[in-house]
Amino acid sequence: MVLSIGSGYSPEYLLKEVVTGRENYYTGAVSEGEPPGRWWGTGAANLGLTGLVDAQDMRALYEGYLDPRDPGFRDPQRWSEVSTLGHTGRKYLSEEELYATALEQEPGASAERRAELRVQAGKSARQNVAFYDLAFNVQKSVTLVHTAFEAKEVAARRVGDEKSAAAWAQCRTAVEDAIWAGNNAMLAYMAKHAGYTRVGKHGGAAGRWADAHDWTVASFFQHDSREHDPHLHIHNTALNRVQGRRRGRRAHHRGAAHPRARRVGRDPAGREGPRDRRRRPGGDGPDLHPAPQAHREGGRVGRGVRGPLRPGPERAGA
């Protein structure tokens, strides 16, 4: 399998695939869309999120960071009153706002120039990282086997042979179940070995790494690539929030995890050395990242002091 990790800003693409009809060119199978997502992780369970992903719930959580435990969470009319999971992110100018500002500066811009300004605005627009997408891609041979089973199933149904169709469907489902098992094993491994967040001041050696193993993940099984070729894979959207403690109380902080380390024992830049080989917080092996040399805690500078978690920088997440 191949695991790729990237930043995610909106869940709309994945939610759209669930409701968009899908036809497999190679098998002739037609479905209403990709299957709905599934909640995974201790963090999701702690928020009361289990089973299949509801589109409205995911938008509220991933776009507004609304707390699913709040009584008004499932009522969009009350979202302005719902408590949030920590900081809701920085407020950036949108692409439209940047474009409007550019036009004000160049009121006489030609149509060609306006098109250039539109592109520049799109490139300059910044967004908060809502989640990290861990894409679990299986080998092409697995996709081919699954495609063959689906083709046999469809062919049997067309001639009215429901018994054979059910048997082929069982084979197809077995492949999908195996992919889910592998995907969930990957998530468990990543949450355990790459689940850290950086908190505190972030300048020089001021920040520090803290445990962030309780991930909140919405997983979406997809059958095709963006070019609509058969390609079985699962998108795992790890929410960029983690539950921690602040002054003895539970609180959520930016940075659900940090899965970007090259391997256990190395920091994201790949550095490793005797001075950096610290114990992993709450674990037995070397940390994924070097422990900070010093950080501020309660108005003073200390070494290795573990204190209440604070919101980390936006890009310190999953």
pLDDT in tens, 276-309: 333 333 443 333 333 333 332 333 322 332 322 2
* Integer Cα distance of 107 and 97 in angstroms: 15
Which residue, among 294, 287, 251, 282, has the nearest Cα to 272 in the 3D structure?
Answer: 287
pLDDT > 70: percent of the chain: 69
| Residue given tokens 């950080």 in the structure block | 295
**Per-domain residue ranges for the chain?**
2-74+129-316, 95-124
Question: Residue 162: what are its φ and ψ, rounded to 5°?
Answer: -70, -30
Phi/psi zone of residue 258: left (φ > 0), alpha (ψ -120 to 50 degrees), beta?
Answer: beta
Confidence of residue 227 (pLDDT cuts 50, 70, 90): confident
226-253: average pLDDT: 74
Taking the C-alpha atoms of 103, 104, 105 and 109 in order, what is their torsion angle to the nearest 10 degrees?
40
Beta bridge partners of 133: 6, 237
Instruction: For residue 190, give Cα distances in angstroms to 175, 197, 256, 260.
Output: 23, 13, 12, 10
Residue 150 exposure: Cα atoms within 13 Å on the Cβ side? 21
For 168, the token pair is 């082929």
pLDDT at 116 over 50: yes
223: pLDDT strictly greater than 90:
no
Is the pTM here over 0.85, yes or no? no
Q: Per-residue pLDDT averaged across 240-259, rounded?
A: 58
The region of weakest confidence among 65-69, 103-107, 209-213 is 209-213
Statement: residue 199 has pLDDT above 90: no
The predicted model gives 153-157 an average pLDDT of 92
* pLDDT value, residue 49: 95
Band the pLDDT of 90: cuts 50, 70, 90: confident
